[in-house]
Amino acid sequence: MTPSESAPRVVARKEGGLGTITLNRPEAINALDVGMIRSIRGVLDAWLTDPDVSVVLFVGAGERGFCAGGDVRHLHAAIREGDFDTPDEFFRGEYTLNACVGEYPKPIVVLADGVTMGGGIGIAGHAAVRVVTERSQLAMPETRIGFTPDAGGSWLLGRAPGRLGEYLALTSAVMGPADAIYTGFADHFVPSDRLPSVREALTTRADPGTPAELILLFDETLDAGPIERAQPWIDEAFAADTVAEIQDRLRALIDSGDHFEGDVTPAAALAALEERSPTALTITLAAVQSARWLRNLREALSQEYGLVTWFMRTQSDMVEGIRAQLVDKDRSPRWSPPALADVDPELVGDAFTFEVDRGLF
């Protein structure tokens, strides 16, 4: 057994009123497994009534990122074999942890330095104080694996400005720090070389009740990011009611002869949609549109739990997407159906009314 395999994957430490939870799986960019989820929840539950902890800080071990998401590779074989209990345990644990973070009575600060995606957003995105750096890369990449944004991601996407939520969800676009703040996935930008100072200040602060004000001492203002600058055409295209209409609007923008700067362009968005699972795109658009009208994070998580159960039990694209992207890594998924035109008109209704015990909380 290597040192990384024997080391605890979640490390909790208390000092000066600050409780620090370190995701300690750097070889996997701190991807969450069910054991890590249980450990994090256990620490948060214990610190609820601990007088020695007034602020909780989440960090990720290693240089690559805070958390790359949930480690769904080990769920692949279980789902293929008809074992739904194992993935259900994972998703139930993850979603109840997401709600715990969002509702925690003590301030939670997350340093979302580097890669922070999927399940990583499920922790970082719902915290009270969310810090990004110049190395931060945030995304909800679930449509890449034939699935839909979860871990409370639909709640954040539904509240992004304009139609950026639909754009981010359908294309799996990656946000840098400026766009993460603009879209509501983060609060503050702090250069990575100042993070040690932030941690020291949180430990030695004079006023333990104001971590957000403390972070402001290190916060720097950024210029608008590429996604914010592209919002006019994104809103125009992604306000359509269906994925097919969105694609038609993107094609019209491409044919318009207008100039679009950088990598955030209608052509890039269309190319991304053409690679994704038609089923995942259809359900994801409906999920973001629905989340816009939900009342709170718990309602969004309950909706997501119903959808993940529907995907696991009735659809092949989630298993196929995990295989193509994370198991075999051939990047050549075989979606079913392969084209939007072949998607059953009753698909959305079937997914959102799928009978499942949604008693997460």
**Among 33, 88, 94, 142, which one carries the catalytic annotation?**
142
**Among 102, 119, 165, 176, which one carries the catalytic annotation?**
119
What DSSP designation does 132 have?
A: E
**Among 70, 93, 114, 225, which one carries the catalytic annotation?**
70
Angle at 174 between CA 64 and CA 302, to 5 degrees: 95
Question: Buried b / exposed e across 191-202, counting CB within 10 Å, b at 16+?
Answer: eeebbeebbebb
Q: Is 89 helix (H, G, I), strand (E, B) or coil?
A: helix
- Within 10 angstroms of residue 221's Cβ, the number of other Cβ atoms is 7
Round to whole Å and give the CA distance between 147 and 225: 27
Q: Check if 70 is active-site.
A: yes
Round to whole Å and give the CA distance between 100 and 111: 18
Name the token pair of 252: 């019209």
**Among 71, 94, 113, 150, which one carries the catalytic annotation?**
150
Instruction: Kindly give the residue spans of alpha helices, DSSP state H, lying in 148-296.
Output: 153-157, 164-171, 177-182, 195-204, 211-216, 226-229, 231-238, 243-255, 266-275, 278-291
Q: Check if 150 is active-site.
A: yes
Given a contact cutoff of 8 angstroms between Cβ atoms, the answer to whether 128 and 265 are in contact is no
Name the token pair of 6: 């024997």
Q: What residues act catalytically?
A: 70, 119, 142, 150
